[in-house]
A and B are shown apart, each in its own frame.
Chain A
């Protein structure tokens, strides 16, 4: 980092030349973290894999060889020849006991309705990645607000708020989500036009069912963040700089947002990034049990569910979406791990 950059980003009056020199030497903790992250090869690989997936999701209509709804009735459950070579138990029609239609037009084969599997996997990235980015955002927003209020206000309010968290923890998460999803799906689509429920339902059906997945994830995943945020606030609240802010008469919201929030954000961001794979598999699970995206919108979870029904005869239909899910989760785990090492200098090896 050159001196001129420092001057640009951190303008200091000419009288403080001495302090400018110290600024030149020290980097901000976030810059430091970024430097450490860039050195972590595994995290970089994760970052590249995720970026490629994001590109694939955005440009799905351009990349995908077919349409994800087009059904080819002459190629139901078909597989190209390289897949038949790869899976020795898949026998092509014509061979002894053969049952698989060979069709080289589809790189990964087709499903039982004759839809291109590769296209559906590419479009499936849209759902998984939306969840990967919006899930943590919802959890961060709700959890951090909740935890900060509980931790900062303290006393009886804190007690009640934390008991709510405890009750939420006692719920079998799956049950709560399934209950909520069934509730949203069946009660909101009977609502009157013009109401909020009706609009939500409209947005939901336009996005292929994703809004309710976000709400479901939001409802069940904020508790960890809330606990973490509260703990962080409790430890930060005693610090001198909060006392200083208090003594110069700063009001509570400005203390919370300008002094507390920036200082507790690090661990929360790390925790959220480590939780991303959980959100992704959560959506996959919901789609697996048929409560996720609405058909025909493809999601890796629903592709795996459909494929695993026929896994003995057509392994390609479950294994390729499973691999896609695996690679993305692996990438997010690598990146999250790298982020933790980068933001928590105590755990990093080089100092």
Chain B
């Protein structure tokens, strides 16, 4: 198991490395740079800017420099300069020397801002996307799991058809449809919730629902299939035979086992929800990370492109890593070599 974990972890790093390399090279292939403007900059200014951000170096050197800045921890002494190029995500004070500290993970400065580093952008906007993603996850679980359970317990009845039709409805309304319609009906016509912005729980309800509803369909189908399978097991018959109440059989004996496949998709689902918030953020005016993710590409803000891609790729790979480990842990028969 330890060896398996180590191997999967090593593999995770390789995948991230490949993702970063591919993104880096495609990104630099796109014509235009971070300082291309409608009104051309003075050649000297452009030259100085390119020199400042080392954009004149050969690509492979820029890439390795980037990786070194990002992954190799630094030990610094003296007062922290506070410069945007020296902004680290992890700062651990060390007990010796003059203000010595171990600093790690520097995504570099944003090309579009003189005062913001990519770390600043992540620190300010990732929590918002994460809250939105978490809210959406709760919505999808809150709708999907009960629907799937009802459908499985009342298989081939009206309840089942209703639940599964709702599930089909769910996958048919992407955020781009549900967002504007919800916004008009609930915020404008009924005037129940604020139409946009972020900060209060009222403002979070609609976006979380719009984002999570489609995924609830997936959870409903999964819950139904998983529970139906479990309900055919011998131990369920045993539990019923010894006279346990239906409710107890379902909630304690069946659900516990039926939840295993669902628990394993929650991680990737959460990763997908966080990384897919762009439309929701646009429709509801939420200052999340998704917006940076998209605008950085059109602005050729290389540092932000790399930072957000790596961060999102990290979430995706990490959630898959956790799933793999959970599977290996839950089912000893699974052996991956």
Whether A associates with B in a native complex is yes
A interface residues, tally (CB under 8 Å): 44
Chain A positions within 8 Å of B181 at CB level: 318-319, 322
Counting chain A CB atoms within 10 Å of each CB, which of B173, B279, B317 scores highest?
B279
Instruction: Say whether A326 contacts B177, CB under 8 Å.
Output: yes
Instruction: Say whether B15 contacts A166, CB under 8 Å.
Output: yes
| Minimum Cβ distance to chain B for residue A292 (Å) | 11
Chain B positions within 8 Å of A337 at CB level: 168
User: A212 on the interface (CB 8 Å rule)?
Assistant: no
Instruction: Say whether B31 contacts A190, CB under 8 Å.
Output: yes
- The CA of A87 and the CA of B185, in the complex, are separated in Å by 10
- The CA of A349 and the CA of B298, in the complex, are separated in Å by 51
- The CA of A330 and the CA of B293, in the complex, are separated in Å by 30
Pick from B173, B283, B305: contact of A308, CB below 8 A: B283
B167-199 interface bits toward A, Cβ cutoff 8 Å, 1 = contact, 0 = none:
011011110110111011000110000010000
- The CA of A319 and the CA of B19, in the complex, are separated in Å by 38
User: A119 on the interface (CB 8 Å rule)?
Assistant: no
Cβ-closest chain A residue relative to B268: A169
User: A271 on the interface (CB 8 Å rule)?
Assistant: no
Chain A positions within 8 Å of B180 at CB level: 304, 307-308, 311, 318-319, 322
Q: Which of A120-128, A181-189, A203-211 contacts B (4 or more CB under 8 A)?
A: A181-189
Q: Which of B22-30, B112-120, B137-145 contacts A (4 or more CB under 8 A)?
A: B22-30
Instruction: Say whether A170 contacts B172, CB under 8 Å.
Output: no
Chain A positions within 8 Å of B189 at CB level: 87-89
User: A334 on the interface (CB 8 Å rule)?
Assistant: yes
Interface residues on B, range: 35 or more
Query: Which B residues between 53 and 71 are near A, CB-CB below 8 angstroms?
Result: none
Instruction: Say whether B316 contacts A172, CB under 8 Å.
Output: yes
- The CA of A326 and the CA of B180, in the complex, are separated in Å by 12
Known: A170-B317, A322-B180, A329-B172. A179 touches B26 (CB 8 A): yes
Known: A174-B278, A285-B174, A301-B176. A311 touches B184 (CB 8 A): yes
Instruction: Say whether A325 contacts B176, CB under 8 Å.
Output: yes
Query: Which A residues between 166 and 201 are near B, CB-CB below 8 angstroms?
Result: 166-167, 169-172, 174-175, 178-180, 182-183, 186-187, 190
Q: Which of B72-80, B201-209, B247-255, B307-315 contacts A (4 or more CB under 8 A)?
A: B307-315
Instruction: Say whether A187 contacts B29, CB under 8 Å.
Output: yes
User: A106 on the interface (CB 8 Å rule)?
Assistant: no
User: A218 on the interface (CB 8 Å rule)?
Assistant: no
Pick from B16, B177, B179, B283: contact of A170, CB below 8 A: B16
User: A148 on the interface (CB 8 Å rule)?
Assistant: no
User: B276 on the interface (CB 8 Å rule)?
Assistant: yes
A266-298 interface bits toward B, Cβ cutoff 8 Å, 1 = contact, 0 = none:
000000000001000100110011000000000
| Minimum Cβ distance to chain B for residue A332 (Å) | 8
Instruction: Say whether A289 contacts B278, CB under 8 Å.
Output: yes
- The CA of A269 and the CA of B316, in the complex, are separated in Å by 27
Instruction: Say whether B309 contacts A329, CB under 8 Å.
Output: no
Chain B positions within 8 Å of A183 at CB level: 26, 29-30
Chain A positions within 8 Å of B283 at CB level: 308
| Minimum Cβ distance to chain B for residue A214 (Å) | 19
Chain A positions within 8 Å of B171 at CB level: 277, 329, 333
| Minimum Cβ distance to chain A for residue B90 (Å) | 22
Cβ-closest chain A residue relative to B177: A322
- The CA of A304 and the CA of B309, in the complex, are separated in Å by 27
Chain A positions within 8 Å of B260 at CB level: none
Instruction: Say whether A175 contacts B298, CB under 8 Å.
Output: no
User: A315 on the interface (CB 8 Å rule)?
Assistant: yes
User: B156 on the interface (CB 8 Å rule)?
Assistant: yes
Chain B positions within 8 Å of A277 at CB level: 171-172
- The CA of A333 and the CA of B294, in the complex, are separated in Å by 29
Counting chain B CB atoms within 10 Å of each CB, which of A174, A175, A311, A326 scores highest?
A175
Instruction: Say whether B184 contacts A330, CB under 8 Å.
Output: no
Task: Provide a sorted-by-A list of 24 A–B residue pairs whose CB atoms are within 8 angstroms.
Answer: A87-B189, A170-B316, A171-B313, A172-B312, A175-B308, A175-B312, A179-B305, A182-B298, A183-B29, A187-B29, A285-B176, A289-B278, A289-B279, A308-B179, A308-B183, A311-B184, A312-B184, A315-B184, A322-B176, A322-B177, A325-B177, A326-B172, A326-B177, A329-B172
